Copies of this chain bind each other. A is one copy, B any other.
């Protein structure tokens, strides 16, 4: 069935896919419930998804044929319609429906940064400011964005150039982007939509710079939507994906905003120009973590799960070449090389899923503590989330490309759904913290903890292993030993420990030999990134294994997840073997055994592969893929997609304008 058909009633499942589902070794529905969190959560998710998918306003029938402008208009239309619908149905964005809605919409929404605008006023505004602006924003009487990043400045806030200079005589701030590189750049909803912005700018009072502060600035007229005087605003142009989002630029020339427009929960300017700081804004730091946590499941993992669903179903119906001489062309999923591409990624989906569950749990705990005024666990949470965000976005986006290429030529067609999964998710390697920067932040925490442990301090839970001495060599003496989580968890822990230890050692030596601290850090940064990756990988492997222990009442599911956990761990060692061999934790001989165990898992999991993606429970209309539909009628779907191409129904102007004179000049010879 192609995704724009609401019903598949009269279409048979491709026998090649039906046979994969004929004798399941576990109950797929139970696994779906486990992934959702409960039977009830599965019910709610399906209810929300089906309610959204059957609404004709949200139809994606011509999705891959739309222009950028059509995508943008559709996203605006969807956003207003969804708000209305949520109100009518009594759904709560912070309730059980909330987290599912965005996933069900598949990102075809605008006004996302309007939400950030609202949140930043709630977080940074005084009670009066909240009372003034929030009702207007909630009713969309104003539409906002959050303008921080500049053309010449990204992650490093202190580098921003926009200024807000306080004029005591008028009690106004005068906001300026002093040169081209100060142009605000990237904010979503800014390009063509919003009327207001929370602008981050250096606060200047009497020529003294008080650092970055947030100001509400009107950018467009509410009457005719034209830019306000002194404002230059527009769309930054086409991107690799996100056609529906109007990322924008904003230049401000002597824009005067009243004193009340500085969001002043944490700091205020008095009429005489006195600057007053109030309380701690550590909570901002927490907000950044919150965004990273929420994107992990809803944007990053989601994309890899869809890509695995599409590519594994396709690999079970695509037949190609010859394996056994004389036999029918086999399913490409029978090839070990195809299994090696897709099945470790399937295992990665599960690994990252359980990791995000854990991160959400820790996040909730830390949030609770923070509300009680205790910020102690924030650095650990920040480091954990930094490492996992960087690790997961990298592995998921690279993984989607592996899935796409594993579908051969058809993976290159937009109809496969795979190109846009990639071009969208790869942005997450950069936004909300560039991955290398995040790994280095996580590494800074690891190095700090390592030093603390050396001086006898106790360490937070996730890094507690740095307190004990490094473990000895691996004791495995047959390939089956590598199917023991204790063995591989220890290997990952050993690797992380050694890389952290070795980076710390190198830095200390460089400093002792006279290098300045900052230069020693930079000279070690390649190794520090490696250390952060190794630590994160260890955390993920361990969390997956911990989940297995909790599943004893679902033995079939426990069994298949155990194999996935093993596969994920052994694949990681197989592909990063140098890290485990370098100091002899593993011997060459042991790596051979591990390879045997790893390759054995591929053929084991191959049997359940289709069921393991079925358990992700995506409707065809969510996958938007001619290759990944539940019924597996891929060639029929591709052809139907192609025939719907509006270009195929138009007269081709090229014939009249270019071809005809050539084609008809010698027609008698034919």
- Please report A residues at the B interface, Cβ cutoff 8 Å: 64-65, 67-69, 72-73, 76-77, 80, 136, 139-143, 149, 151-156, 158-159, 180-181, 183, 185-186, 192-193, 195, 222-225, 234-240, 249, 318-325, 329, 334-338, 340-341, 401, 405, 408-409, 411-415, 419, 423, 426-427, 429-431, 434-437, 440, 516, 518-519, 522-527, 529, 576-584, 588, 591, 595, 599, 635-636, 638-639, 641-643, 645, 647-648, 652-655, 657-660, 662-667, 669-670
Query: A193 — which chain B residues lie within 8 A by C-beta?
Result: 654, 659
Nearest Cβ in chain B — how far from A104, in angstroms?
Answer: 21
Chain B residues near A324 (CB-CB < 8 A):
516, 518-519
Interfacial chain B residues near A67, Cβ < 8 Å:
67
Q: Determine the chain B residues whose CB is within 8 A of the CB of A437 once the complex forms.
A: 321
- Closest CB-CB distance, A527 to chain B, in whole Å? 8
Measured CB to CB, the closest approach of chain B to A566, in angstroms, equals: 17
With A522-B335, A522-B336, A639-B180 given, is the CB distance from A670 to B578 under 8 Å? no
Query: A151's closest neighbor in chain B, by CB?
Result: B635
Assess whether A413 is in contact with B652, with CB atoms less than 8 Å apart: no
A423 with B414, Cβ < 8 A, contacts A654-B192, A665-B141, A666-B139 known: no
Using known A-B contacts A180-B635, A181-B635, determine if residue A591 contacts B599 with beta carbons closer than 8 Å.
Answer: no
> In whole angstroms, how far apart are the Cα atoms of A193 and B415 in the complex?
22
Query: Separation in Å of the A649 CB from the closest CB of chain B?
Result: 9
Q: Which of B77, B321, B323, B653 contacts A159 (CB 8 A)?
A: B321
CB distance from A4 to the nearest CB of B (A): 14
Contacts of A635 in B (CB 8 A): 151-152, 180-181, 183
Q: How far is the CA of A485 from the CA of B635 in the complex (A)?
A: 51
Give complex CA distance A436, B336 in Å. Answer: 11
The contact of A77 among B526, B579, B658, by CB within 8 Å, is: B658
Q: What's the number of copies of this chain in the assembled complex? A: 2
A483 to B435, CA, bound (A): 31
B181 touches A69 (CB 8 A): no
Chain B min CB distance to A316 (Å): 14
Let me know if B320 and A155 touch, CB within 8 A.
yes
The answer for the CA separation of A149 and B412 in the assembled complex, in Å, is 14
B240 touches A419 (CB 8 A): yes
Distance of A243 from chain B, by nearest CB (Å): 11
C-alpha spacing A599/B503, complex, angstroms = 14
State whether B639 touches A151 (Cβ < 8 A): yes
The 7 closest A-B CB pairs, nearest first, are A577-B578, A141-B666, A578-B578, A240-B419, A140-B662, A234-B648, A581-B581
Cross-chain contact B73 with A654 (CB below 8 angstroms): yes
Complex CA gap A50/B658 in Å reads: 26
Beta-carbon nearest neighbor of A439 in chain B: B337
Residue numbers in B under 8 Å from A588 (CB-CB): 581-584
Q: What chain B residues lie within 8 Å of A223 (beta carbons)?
A: 664, 667
Whether A239 lies near B664 (C-beta < 8 A) is: no
Task: Please determine whether A409 and B431 come into contact, CB atoms closer than 8 angstroms.
Answer: yes
